[in-house]
Amino acid sequence: MTMKARGAVRLKKNQGQSLKSDWLGYLKPVSMVVTITCILISTVLLIMQLVNKDITELEIDGPFEHVSKNQIRSELEGVFPAGFITLNIENVVERLLIMPMVSQVEAEKIWPNTLKLTVHEEKPVAIWNQKKYVEPDGRDITLGISPIELAAIKGALGG
């Protein structure tokens, strides 16, 4: 039995709708991914803004025989204050270790707005050849402060 087709065949129009419906089928998943990504990014930025408040308190501990708190504060200009999360502690420590008579620095962030620094100073016991200080362990350090009353020693570099 053969069938006869009735009416006009609209293949060209159906093919065009098929392409249009294929494109629309991809639009929904893509728009969902874009929407979810925007929500995630907005949430992260909001949390960063809430958490990354400026560190406004600076606690400085140390003996302060050769270095003052004001010298430390001025050395940190441009680095402090900064946000709690974005403050680079290594940068703070490096800047302070460059200072004369500073041997070690410990830095700690304390939530929500405090940077605590503990500064350890060099402890010279003598002046060597009027050019350098000598530490108790024999290390020499460059004169970085006004002269202080210490025993003066002379001699060639030993080894």
pLDDT in tens, the chain (159 residues): 555 656 655 555 555 555 566 777 788 889 999 999 999 999 999 988 888 888 889 999 999 988 899 999 999 988 877 888 889 999 999 999 999 889 899 999 998 889 999 999 988 888 887 778 888 887 887 766 666 778 788 877 554
The residues that bridge with 117 in the sheet, in sequence order, are: 60, 107
> Does 16 fall in a domain?
no
pTM: 0.65
Residue 127 lies in a domain: yes
Cis peptide before 112 (omega within 30 of 0): yes
**Locus of tokens 């000598």:** 134
Number of domains comprising the chain: 2
The parent domain of residue 127 ranges over 122-159
Q: Please tell me whether residues 79 and 114 are part of one structural domain.
A: yes
The span from the CA of 118 to the CA of 112, in Å, is: 19
Residues 111 and 137 in one domain: no
Distance, in Å, from the CA atom of 110 to the CA atom of 81, rounded to the nearest integer, reads 14
Q: 68 and 116 share a domain? A: yes
**8-state DSSP, 79:** T
Q: Tell me, what CATH number does 87's domain have? A: 3.10.20.310
